Amino acid sequence: MVLGTVWASFNDVRNPIIIQGGMGAGVSDWRLARTVSCLGHLGVVSGTAVNTLLLRRLQDGDPQGHSRRALSQFPDRAIAEEILSLFFQEGGRNPGQPYKLSPLSNLNASLRFHQLSVAGAFVEVWLAKEGHDNPVGINLLEKLQLANLPAIYGAMLAGVDYVLMGAGIPREIPGVLDLFSEQKAASIKAHAVGLSSAPEHEDVRTSFDPALVFPDMEKKPLKRPLFLAIVSSATLATHLAKKSTGRVDGFVVEGPLAGGHNAPPRGPLKLSETGEPIYGSKDVPDLVAIKEIGLPFWMAGSFATPEKLREALAAGAAGIQVGTAFAFCEESGMSESIKRAAIRKWGLPESNTTDRVFTDPLASPTDFPFKVAPMEGTLSDNTLYQARPRICDLGYLRTLAVGPSGDFVHRCPSEPVADYLKKGGKIEETVGRKCLCNALMTNIDMGQSQKSGHEELALVTAGDDLAMLRRFLRGGKTSYSARDVLEQLLEDVKPAFSDATSSSVSP
């Protein structure tokens, strides 16, 4: 079957039917997004930790030269050269050699952090767009607000077509896209814990100014990407459609079966016998109300079957967003050994485990439930988790808070407990918290060898529907491609779209 683009018209805008979900960090990397976009659907790179992603690829010797090729197109030549001279390591690191780190995101982040984040997002999007004209998106988590502005700007420098953002209320992002398209400075409210009525606490903002970060760079107007907000309720969708600082172009409606972070259940948190959040009828999004907003929407969270796709379309959705199925395919950035182990455990005809994905209410420092696939040798094993020396050296998930001395502090409940307490955090908030920053880098084979000698372990996230990997592994296959996923999903849907265009190119 030829996988021509299947984009349907909605309010005169052509929309993809399948969005490959953004998966951090580096699981939906440029290679996966490029493949999906070339096959005519919407490929989405993850915008999480893009500075670290670039630095680690360079320190691993950038074996095929992709990052250096993209950096050679970065509009600020001097900064691109500086990044290379600081971080590129011919032949890669020696075994056990710790990666050099980027400065951390911060309320008043350093110039270097901003430059590295812009360059990281630029490289990821530029590579995903290389050699074809089909649209590419970038996905960001609102919770990582102190890192988001430079990543958005970098993605826009590379001509990103869509920005998708969830895990929070991204009300101010549409306005940021408008400002960056004119190369103007932008700022967003920085949520902080423990604010008082003191004037300095009134409007705490984090900002990014292209003129300050790249004073010597020529600044041409940039394309304003479309903005899709990831929501779990009609209330949030309506609020964003009405109250955002600029145009919202659509919604991804994500339910609690999706991989990664999930929105917490409405109301007080109640746990099941297995210790997982209980979702109820209040958590089912009102699709009629969402449809009434008049913007396109996509359904996400165990929607990766032709039947569920048809169901979504029948409910008025423009299509679906799919994560887990792509996370374990050949082109994803996930470590090959993790993909193989997951497929052995859940995907083969003979796989007969009763283990299933656990919705962990504590693992993520963000307080959002986080889906964990139980896998040997990873931090889903409590003994390995307890044995990990706590360290906070990537810091993306730190919360801004007013510390005991009244100054702003950045703290993470998975950092060393004494540090967290010193910054005014409560001990009970540290229990069961996992360092997702380090674990997610290990998931993509870029785990840190800490100076202490500790090798950071993985923690794998996936949607509830891991057993659906079997559908892509028929006929004795032990791996599958992004094309296999798309062909399966569109088996009997494509002919229904009379205005479908064919613009797939060879990946």
Q: Residues in the site for ligand FMN, rule: CB under 6 A?
A: 21-24, 27, 46, 48, 139, 141, 166, 230, 254, 257-260, 300-302, 304, 321-325, 327, 461-463, 465
CB of 321 to ligand FMN, least distance (A): 5
Q: How far is the CA of 119 from the CAs of 90, 123, 178, 228, in angstroms?
A: 20, 6, 20, 23
Is the bond leading into 25 cis (omega within 30 degrees of zero)? yes
Judge whether 425 and 403 are in contact, CB under 8 Å: no
CB of 505 to ligand FMN, least distance (A): 24
CB of 439 to ligand FMN, least distance (A): 12
Closer to ligand FMN by CB, 67 or 321: give it. 321
Closer to ligand FMN by CB, 164 or 295: give it. 164
Closer to ligand FMN by CB, 24 or 210: give it. 24
CB of 83 to ligand FMN, least distance (A): 24
Judge whether 414 and 360 are in contact, CB under 8 Å: no
Nearest to 213 by CA among 87, 84, 74, 101: 74
Judge whether 323 and 300 are in contact, CB under 8 Å: yes
C-alpha–C-alpha distance, residues 256 and 235, integer Å:
16
> 393 is written with which tokens?
């050296």
Closer to ligand FMN by CB, 420 or 480: give it. 480
Closer to ligand FMN by CB, 230 or 490: give it. 230
Q: Residue 50: CB partners within 8 Å, gap ≥ 6?
A: 117, 120, 121, 123, 124, 151, 154
- Indicate the SS3 state at residue 341: helix
- Tell me how crowded residue 20 is: count the other CB atoms within 10 A of its CB: 32
Closer to ligand FMN by CB, 23 or 500: give it. 23
CB of 459 to ligand FMN, least distance (A): 11
CB of 430 to ligand FMN, least distance (A): 23
- Indicate the SS3 state at residue 254: strand
Closer to ligand FMN by CB, 374 or 416: give it. 374
Judge whether 23 and 230 are in contact, CB under 8 Å: no
CB of 462 to ligand FMN, least distance (A): 5
Please report which residue ranges of 278-358 form alpha helices under DSSP H: 287-293, 306-314, 324-327, 336-342
Closer to ligand FMN by CB, 39 or 329: give it. 329
CB of 400 to ligand FMN, least distance (A): 20
